[in-house]
């Protein structure tokens, strides 16, 4: 099972074993990672699961689709490596992924 490390804005690291097929958001919610609310349950409707993806994984994670990009355009503190974690599906390729949660979601 791939491991994903969630990093709080203050630097606290939480490595978590994720399940293939679930999303980075779902993995966070089920493991009570602070800073990811995901109010809409992954419908790409609320932008409360915003994360920064570690630069070294940007290629593997891929580009946001149009819907997600539009949501991100209006999220707070967006960076080039911003993604909505409900739109990133866990796979073996993502083993070792590191994502940081924005301060505004805490």
Partner 1 sequence: MDLSTAKNIVVIGGGQAGAQAVQSLRQFGYEGAITLVGDEAALPYQRPPLSKAYMKGELAEDRLYFKPAAWYEDNKVETLLSQRVKKIDRANRQVLLQHGGHLDYDAVIIATGSRPRPLPVEGADLENVFELRGLSDVEHIQPKMISGQKLVIVGAGYIGLEAAAVARQLGLEVTVLEMEQRALARVTSPVISSFYEALHMEHGVDVRCGARLGSLKGKDGKLTHAVLASGEEIEADMVLAGIGIIPNVELAEDAGLPCKNGIIVDEDARTSDPRIFAAGDCTVRPLAHYARTGRLESVHNAIEQGKLAAAAIMGKPRPALDCPWFWSDQYNIKLQIAGLSQGYDEIVVRGDVEAKKFAAFYKKNGRLIAVDAINSPPEFIASKRLIMSGASVASETLADTSISMKEIAAAAA
Residues that bind partner 1 (CB under 8 A): 21-22, 26, 29-30, 32, 39-41, 43-47, 67, 70-71, 73-74
| Closer of 29 and 61 to partner 1 (Cβ) | 29
**Burial of residue 25 (number of CB atoms within 10 Å: 0-12, 13-18, 19+):** buried
Backbone angles phi, psi at 76, to 5 degrees: -85, 150
What's the min distance (Å) between Cβ of 48 and partner 1?
10
Shorter beta-carbon distance to partner 1: residue 4 or 98: 4
Distance CA 8, CA 99 (A): 9
Cβ proximity to partner 1: between 20 and 56 the closer is 20
């Amino acid at each position: 099972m791939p491991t994903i490390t969630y990093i709080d804005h203050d630097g606290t690291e939480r490595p978590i074993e994720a399940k293939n097929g679930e999303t980075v958001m779902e993995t966070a919610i089920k493991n009570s990672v602070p800073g990811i609310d995901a109010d809409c349950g992954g419908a790409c409707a609320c932008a409360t699961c915003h994360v920064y993806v570690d630069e070294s994984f940007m290629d593997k994670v891929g580009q946001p689709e149009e819907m997600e990009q539009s949501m991100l355009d209006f999220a707070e503190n967006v960076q080039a490596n911003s993604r909505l974690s409900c739109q990133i599906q866990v796979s073996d390729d993502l083993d070792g992924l590191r994502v940081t949660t924005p301060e505004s979601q805490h």
